[in-house]
Amino acid sequence: ANVLEGDSMDQDVESPVAIHQPKLPKQARDDLPRHISRDRTKRKIQRYVRKDGKCNVHHGNVRETYRYLTDIFTTLVDLKWRFNLLIFVMVYTVTWLFFGMIWWLIAYIRGDMDHIEDPSWTPCVTNLNGFVSAFLFSIETETTIGYGYRVITDKCPEGIILLLIQSVLGSIVNAFMVGCMFVKISQPKKRAETLVFSTHAVISMRDGKLCLMFRVGDLRNSHIVEASIRAKLIKSKQTSEGEFIPLNQTDINVGYYTGDDRLFLVSPLIISHEINQQSPFWEISKAQLPKEELEIVVILEGMVEATGMTCQARSSYITSEILWGYRFTPVLTLEDGFYEVDYNSFHETYETSTPSLSAKELAELASRAELPLSWSVSSKLNQHAELETEEEEKNLEEQTERNGDVANLENESKV
């Protein structure tokens, strides 16, 4: 029961707990301290958005499948490459075979097959003597190759009509399939792979305020136009009315009101979220953070400068990927008149002195001291807390000594 205790809402986000029982007698297992038994329990975090930006959501039991056919172009673009290439080849092959069969039927019905060697006979298509030659003529017509060996004559009105139909339908097929392949190749998803996010998010002091930060960067020299950043907190919740909301999305302010969410992404930038009263991290301290079961999804989007297409890159951070008391290592240096970005240090962090209290507790301590909360004040508060801890330990030692003296006196009196 101690191992499995936790909020039912949190269990909705996480995968089932995997418990590995130690190979010990039952009595020995019962005598184990609680923290040891907790360490033996491993929780596998189930992400909502993976680190590569793909959403870990499967749409099942979709009955209205006809909606996919109404948007057949997008459906083909979303297919995997192997299926897309298979459909591309099949569409052209089927149309060539279909019209080749019709050309052969026209020649067969008109009797052209019976007058192949007759110079006085005017066939519908010259030099068409079987299905293979009809199939080749169909390919030449639809692809507008026109080798000149097989030519339609003016004595075949049904052939002229079929030629018009195949030319129009062939143009439609070419436009549809070539357009589909072009969009498939030029998808902005590939451009999003050159937009990188730091592997960890950090929490530390910035300008006297506790902030959650992560870093973004662009590996290409071509820029993302009108780049903007958003962040969402994914965590299940239960309302005051008892309604359970799985994977509830809460907005994390990364500069919406100040315009800091609009990025000029020429060099790597550190995105900061101030932990204030409107922040979902307002009451979370360093000790409480590992116990939280949440996920932060960050979304970077903008237009590709080369193509003008909208591009979106995504990543996520779980509690084990949020480092409390760290900052990002600088990556920008000035080298011979230009700025050099060292992407080897893009994900690196270094430890810094940071209060372990929550932002709410820091604000309460600052209000008691009747001083504005700044880094100097917060550091003094930390020092004050450390002094209080030392005093408590000293008092505890003195109390223990006094208890020992009293026990000695009692023993002497008994003697």
Q: Is the pLDDT score of 370 beyond 60?
A: no
- What local confidence, expressed as pLDDT, does residue 32 receive? 42
Cα–Cα distance for residue pair 304/269, rounded to 1 Å: 18
R_g over Cα of the chain: 36
| pLDDT tier at 116, thresholds 50, 70, 90 | confident
Residue 72 near residue 91, CB atoms below 8 Å: no
- What local confidence, expressed as pLDDT, does residue 201 receive? 96
State what percent of residues in the chain have pLDDT above 90.
43
Output the six-digit token pair for 268: 């790597």
Q: Is the pLDDT score of 383 beyond 60?
A: no
Mean of pLDDT values over 45-58: 76
Q: Is the pLDDT score of 142 beyond 70?
A: yes
Mean pLDDT rounded to a whole number for the chain: 80
Label each residue of 326-360 as H, E or C.
Answer: EEECCCEEEECCEEEECHHHCCCEEECCCCCCCHH
Residue 295 near residue 235, CB atoms below 8 Å: yes
| pLDDT tier at 368, thresholds 50, 70, 90 | confident
411 against 283, higher pLDDT: 283
Per-residue model confidence as pLDDT tens digits over 289-313: 999 989 999 999 999 887 788 889 9
| pLDDT tier at 43, thresholds 50, 70, 90 | low
Per-residue model confidence as pLDDT tens digits over 53-92: 777 777 676 666 666 667 787 888 888 889 989 999 999 9
161 against 117, higher pLDDT: 161
- What local confidence, expressed as pLDDT, does residue 407 receive? 56
Cα–Cα distance for residue pair 287/99, rounded to 1 Å: 73
Cα–Cα distance for residue pair 303/284, rounded to 1 Å: 36
Q: Is the pLDDT score of 1 beyond 50?
A: no
Cα–Cα distance for residue pair 128/101, rounded to 1 Å: 12
220 against 370, higher pLDDT: 220
Residue 391 amino acid letter: E
State what percent of residues in the chain have pLDDT above 70.
76
Mean of pLDDT values over 156-163: 92
| pLDDT tier at 120, thresholds 50, 70, 90 | confident
Q: Is the pLDDT score of 107 beyond 80?
A: yes
Per-residue model confidence as pLDDT tens digits over 218-267: 998 888 889 999 999 999 988 888 899 988 999 999 999 899 999 999 99
- What local confidence, expressed as pLDDT, does residue 20 receive? 41
Indicate the burial class of 57 (C-beta count within 10 angstroms; 0-12, 13-18, 19 or more).
exposed
Cα–Cα distance for residue pair 173/142, rounded to 1 Å: 10
- Domains of the chain, CATH where assigned: 65-186 (1.10.287.70), 191-365 (2.60.40.1400)
Q: Is the pLDDT score of 6 beyond 80?
A: no
CA angle 269, 275, 276 (to 5 degrees): 135
Cα–Cα distances (Å) from 82 to 64, 71, 112, 185, 241, in that order, read 25, 20, 42, 13, 50
Strands 322-324, 201-206: pairing kind? parallel
Mean of pLDDT values over 314-324: 94
251 against 45, higher pLDDT: 251
Predicted model pTM = 0.64
